[in-house]
Amino acid sequence: MTNIVDVRELTKRYDNGFEALKSVDLSIKQGEIIALLGPNGAGKTTLISTICGITQATSGSVTIGGHDNLTDFRAARNLVGLVPQEINLEPFEKVMNTVKFSRGLFGKAPDPAYLEKILRSLSLWDKKDDRIMMLSGGMKRRVLIAKALSHEPRVLFLDEPTAGVDVELRKDMWDVVAKLKEDGVTIILTTHYIEEAEAIADRIGVIAKGEILLVEDKDHLMKRMGKKSLKIELIEPVSAVPDALSKYGLRLEEGHLVYTYDTSLDRTGITSLLADLQTAGLQMSDLQTQQSSLEEIFVSLVAEQEGAA
């Protein structure tokens, strides 16, 4: 898969000396959904703003579709759509007019049929003549997406698109994103909602303090860093872990045993544990496994970085 966005040694230092991006390298593959996770102030929005040309980089380069975003900015920006974090819309303007304006800015001739298709797909068609100020917060967010899609971009940046929207709308947005991916649009998403990244992303990037900590395939990441636990429910609960099982580092939970193991290892130790349980004379009533979520992985990664700093 070819890269559609290439970020090389991108640094952004503000006048007050604060370094929002520290020599960031990031390659985004064509057609993928990549989620950038990071705590507040990590540099997610700065990274997106710099790629899109809103913020001037101190050093480094950005190419989009092979076009440098400074020297060949027209070709580069033509490929990009941006949904900002804040709901930035002109309150007195009508929905259709503001979407038409966005399309025009990108040099595209009017195409009422295409705009109708977008507005219908975002359930905005019956609001097309409403003024922005009359819309709910969720609807305004949809308008931002419609504006970003109005010029048929190949790369779409979504900066926390579901912040503050209800669960139903969030799920609707995920459907929209999935549909865009089907159409071949590359999507870069920043989010605070780990479940969002878990649900829709192909790859995960973790950013903290202006540095990319990792970029990895979501499934690989969860497999690599995800710990699994095996809960062994006993017919007769015990008050302490038997000495014969001490080598497994078991935890006691309401009289039952919990074994934590690493999924990336060839031997997890489960087979020998079960055999030793039998030897110890313990009888099982049930077994349950549980995998750590992306959120737990994310928290541990950021905590590691903070510990290292």
Partner 1 sequence: MNFQAIRSIYIFEMARFFRTLMQSFISPVISTSLYFVVFGTAIGSRIQEVEGIGYGAFIVPGLIMLSVMTQATSNASFGIYFPKFIGTIYELLSAPVSFWEITVGYVGAAATKAMFVGLVILGTSFLFVDITIQHPIAMLAFLTLTCLSFSLLGFIIGIWAGNFEQLQLIPLLIITPLVFLGGSFYSVAMLPPVWQSITMFNPVVYLISGFRWSFFGAADVPIALSLFAIGLFTALCVGVIGWIFKTGWRIRQ
Residues binding partner 1 (CB under 8 A): 14, 49, 52-56, 73-78, 80, 82, 84, 86, 88-93, 97, 100-109, 147
User: What distance in Å separates the CA atoms of residue 56 and residue 251, rounded to the nearest whole number?
Assistant: 52
* Nearest in space to 190 (alpha carbons), one of 62, 84, 102: 84
Least distance in angstroms from the C-beta of 126 to partner 1: 22
Q: What sign for the dihedral angle of Cα 82, 87, 88, 92?
A: positive
User: What distance in Å separates the CA atoms of residue 153 and residue 30, rounded to the nearest whole number?
Assistant: 12
Least distance in angstroms from the C-beta of 109 to partner 1: 7
Scanning 53-136, the segments in alpha helix (DSSP H) are 73-78, 95-105, 112-121
What's the start-to-end Cα distance of the chain, in Å?
35
User: What distance in Å separates the CA atoms of residue 59 and residue 186, rounded to the nearest whole number?
Assistant: 25
User: What distance in Å separates the CA atoms of residue 205 and residue 190, rounded to the nearest whole number?
Assistant: 9
Least distance in angstroms from the C-beta of 99 to partner 1: 11
| Token reading at 38 | 């990071």
Cross-strand pairs, 189? 35, 158
User: What distance in Å separates the CA atoms of residue 163 and residue 191, rounded to the nearest whole number?
Assistant: 8
DSSP annotation string for 90-111:
-TTSBHHHHHHHHHHHTTPPP-
Closest CB to partner 1 among 101 and 126?
Answer: 101
Closest CB to partner 1 among 61 and 260?
Answer: 61
